[in-house]
Structures are given as structure tokens and as C-alpha cells.
Chain A
Amino acid sequence: MIRCEGLTKYYGNHRAIADVDIHVSEGEIVGFLGPNAAGKTTAMRILTSFIPPSAGIATVAGHDVVTDSLESRRCIGYLPETASLYRDMRVTQFLRFCAGLRGMGGAETSERMEYVIDTCGLAERADSIIATLSLGYRQRVGLAQALLHDPPVLIFDEPTVGLDPNQIIEVRNLIKSLAEKHTVMLSTHILPEAAMTCERVIIINHGRIIAEDTPEALTAQIREAETVSVTLASPGESVERQLTDMTEVVAVRPQGGGIFHVDTAIGADVRAQIAEFVVGHDWGLLELRPVEMTLEDVFQQLTTEEEGVE
């Protein structure tokens, strides 16, 4: 549904994205993950025909975003990064205005408005003037207009910014449920968000895609060791050395407070041996658990590696 090939964008001499290839198939929900200034918004603006690419091609639902942009725009529901809405309009007026821009008929408009107002939790504020809404509610209005015309492709630029924790969970669930009937691409710099909502994550940094896979595969891919966290009540002086001397153990990293991270070879599960060893030494085993590599770690590792190259 979304295809980019060799997408490049220069702002003057500054290259915001370089050679970006993205393929998103129908019904997929893809997270576009990157630190500030990585080029997420730039790529999304190109996909929504707001700015033209300097090089490369992009199509949405089979329509080129430059040469056939009226058609491609018709297929997209877009939530811009800063949902700048018309402040002097009421929520319902604004949605009606959007419906008009998208050529929706009267009956369809009323029906869809009811649906999006309900879905985005806007019912009590539907008649409020947008300027009087809080940031989170404006974000909801932004989401509502993106869903209004029931487009096949949804592009959300940081959809949960400004929302309270409950609303964040609601929106994530909403996005997940949308994925059944829509193709969704969302950008975020919040890693757990990408891990929770997306089937696939594309990591972008300095305008280049540096990794692309399922959240699980990504963590597996760059993991260099299995790590077990051991918490001890009364660690003796020589715990570190003695643990390191175990045949299965590659390295021991004391974390302070009686916590030790024990690295072992990939694929080996040595928790039983460690438990036995520790109990044998009477160090007072409080906790023993495998350490999952989070997307944060993946991200940090990938982005710092990238910086090392440049």
C-alpha cells in the first residue's frame, strides 16, 4: 500500500532523508522510529504530498504522490505532527469542513462524524470551539479528521503526543484495532510504543534507514549475549571473580546494590547452574531472572553504531 524507493529530500543543502526505501503491505501496521531530526516527519510529508521529494519515487495505494497526488491524498488519513487546526471553528464544524474537502456526501458525513466523535472520545466536547480545547483533545480532533473519510491508509505522525496515560493506552488500542481494516504507518520516538503497537519497526536515523524488522527479531538480531540478572542479599568480596570463573559465564557486570548482570553465550540457558552455584556459596539469592533486551537498547546500539561510522 505504501512504497518508497530511493526517497531523498534536501532542504537547501541540508539532506533530511537519503535513499529511503519503505514497503508497507495492506493491513500492516508499521512503526517509524527515530530520534529527533531523524527525518520521520519529512518522509511522512512526502507521502502525503505536502512536500515533493528531491529524488526517488513514492506511491500510496498505487498512486504516485507527485504525479497523481489528488488520488493518493484521497486514500490517506493523515495526522500531522502538530495538529494545527482552525482555532475559531467548533469541532463539528471543523469535521464537516474536512468532509467537504474530501467530497463526502451529506448522509455519509453525518454517519462518519458520529463514528469518529464516538471513537475518539470527543462526545462531550463536540460543540466546543477548538481554541478552548486542551492539547490532548486537539490531538483527538486531529485523529478524528484522519479517520473521517475511512481511508485505506493511515499516516500518523506521533499520535500519542500530548495525551494522558489512559488516553495513550486507548489510542494505542484504537490504532491496533484500525489495523484490521487499514494500513497504518505511525512515527514515534517512544520505543515501547512501537514495540507494543507495531508488527514491524523501521528505524531511521540521520535520514537513513538503519534497521527494519519485527520488534522481537530486532532485539534478537543485535543481541551479543544472554544476560541473567542475579540479586544477592550478602555478596561476598569475591563474587565477581568466582562467577566469572564459571565455565559458562562470559562476563560479570556488577550493577551495585547486590545486583550482578551475568553474560553467557548466545543460546545457552545457565540459570540453573548459576542458582546452584550461588546457593552453594551462601550469598543469599534474592532474585534470578533473564534480562530482556528492550528496543531501547537496540535503538541505542544501532544509533550509536551509526554515529561511529560517520
Chain B
Amino acid sequence: MRKVLTIAGKEIRSYFVSPMAYVVLAFFLGVCGLIFALTVTMTQSEANMAGMFHTMIFITLMMTPVITMGLLSQEQSTGSLELLMTNPIRESEVVIGKYLAALALYMIALVASLEFALIINAFGDPDWMAILSGYIGVTLAGMAFLAIGLFSSALVANQIAAAVLGYLMLLFFWLIGWLDSAVEGVLGTIAKNISILENFQDFAKGIIDSRPIIFFASLIVFALFLSVRALENKRTI
């Protein structure tokens, strides 16, 4: 566990000594804030965050591959992986440590975004249960995105390629829900069930169901497992 925290600590520090953390936070809060301001002023809607969560998850999708792109690819391209892995540390500890660092940065963004809920609270009477469930959904989906991004970063040594690969994988899970209406039968049902958007809908509506929780949890575990395997395979060519 200490080794995991050592890795995580190092990555968090490098997020904050590079522009990465600030760019990511500014992007997330800036775009969320802009869309929040537009909806509030233009639609004069009732006090809820449902629309806000749809914005947030889309921005999360845009931002997570950038957060994770360098985590494992840079170790490979600079050659520091050799120094790292000749230490008495497991691949799984490296992967989890890096994942926790990415998650920490993401959570900072989410916590900062609570300001929007507080603003709504100041002017209206929002349903806090719905806000809670929305945040659970955004957190889970973001965690899955980060795990997938980390996997793509383990696969390729180039940061930009890792980001692009991450976007492609996320888009697959994002868009596959459309197959539901296009394809009949079992295939359509499967497509619907592994779609990120479909699994996210309930949370945004304020419903906390076990099925999407299990979906996101499995996606996270599976992507992290694949990252560990990818990292192991890098050295066993």
C-alpha cells in the first residue's frame, strides 16, 4: 500500500508542477460554468441539475484521456520504466498508484463543481437526493473513463497516440447505445447495456440502481486488469 501511495503522490505532484492540473480544472469548471450560466439565464428552468450532469459527463469524456495519457506512456517513451520496474514493486501497484493520482485530480474537479449545486440551492430548492445520485453517476462514469484512458496509456508509448486511442475506446462505449434502435434482438440489448450513456441516464434522473453500478465497477476493474497485463507484456516481447 505504501508503494501505491508513493506512486500516486509522485504523479499528483507532477500534475501540479506541470500545467496539466490547472488546464484540466480550468477547462472542466470553465465549460461547466458557461453552460450552467447559459441554461440558468436562458431557460429560467426549475431548480435542478439534471441538464448539468449531462454536460458534466460529456466534458468528463473530453478531459479524462488527457489526464491519463502520459501516466504509463511516458514511462515507456523516456525509458524510466526500466528504473521503475527494477524496483521491488508489482505492476498492479504501479497501475493502481497511477490510477489513484488521476482519480484524485478528477475528484478535485468534481468537488469544485459543487459550487453550481450551491448556487442553485441559494436561489431555489433543489432535490438533494437527485444531486447526490447525479454525482455518484458522474463519479462512477469518470472512474471508468480514467481506467480506460490508463489502459490506452499502457498500450502505446506515445502520449498523443494514447489520448487518441483513449478517445476511440470511450467513443465506442458512448455511441454503441445507438445500435439499440438500429439492431433488433439480443445484440441490440447487449449494445444498450454496455452503453455508457444508457447506464448513466438513471443517475441523472435521480435513480440509484444496482445494475449500472455493477456495470461501471466491472468496467473499471476490467480496464485496470488489462492495464496491468499490458504493462507486463511490454517487457516480455
Contact = CB atoms under 8 A, between A and B. Distances in A.
List of 8 A-B pairs having minimum Cβ-Cβ separation, nearest first: A100-B6, A84-B79, A101-B87, A48-B86, A73-B88, A74-B88, A84-B80, A78-B86
B17 A50 contact: no
Nearest to A142: B83
Contact of B6 (A11, A85, A86, A101): A101
Contacts of B87: 73, 98, 101-102
Nearest to B235: A51
Contact of A93 (B13, B88, B90): B13
Interface in A56-94: 70-71, 73-74, 76, 78, 80, 82-89, 93
A288 to B, nearest CB: 52
Contacts of A97: 6, 9-10
Nearest to B83: A80
Nearest to A100: B6
A109 B5 CA distance: 16
28 contacts: A11-B237, A45-B82, A50-B86, A50-B235, A51-B236, A70-B88, A70-B90, A73-B86, A73-B88, A74-B88, A76-B86, A78-B83, A78-B86, A80-B83, A84-B78, A84-B79, A84-B83, A86-B10, A88-B17, A100-B2, A100-B3, A100-B5, A100-B6, A101-B89, A102-B87, A103-B2, A103-B88, A145-B83
B10 A89 contact: yes
Interface of B: 2-3, 5-7, 9-10, 13-14, 17-18, 78-80, 82-90, 235-237
Contacts of A102: 87-88
Interface in A88-121: 88-89, 93, 97-98, 100-103
A52 interface: yes
Nearest to A44: B86
A89 B86 CA distance: 19
A49 interface: yes
Given A70-B89, A74-B88, 10 more contacts: A70-B90, A71-B88, A76-B86, A78-B86, A80-B86, A84-B79, A86-B10, A88-B18, A89-B10, A89-B13
A83 to B, nearest CB: 7
Contacts of A70: 88-90
B82 A50 contact: yes
Nearest to B234: A51
A100 to B, nearest CB: 3
A74 to B, nearest CB: 4
Given A86-B14, A100-B3, A100-B6, A50 B85 contact: yes
Residue of A45, A50, A74, A85 contacting most chain B CB atoms (<10 Å): A50
A182 B6 CA distance: 27
B86 A52 contact: no
Given A80-B82, A100-B2, A52 B236 contact: yes
A83 B86 CA distance: 12
A90 to B, nearest CB: 10
Contact of B80 (A12, A76, A85): A85
Contact of A80 (B10, B79, B90): B79
Nearest to A72: B88
Interface string A111-136: 00000000000000000000000000
A86 B88 contact: no
Residue of B6, B9, B82 contacting most chain A CB atoms (<10 Å): B82
A83 B83 contact: yes
Interface in A1-33: 11-12
Contacts of B9: 97, 100
Contacts of A82: 79
Contacts of A80: 79, 82-83, 86
A100 B4 CA distance: 9
A97 B237 CA distance: 28
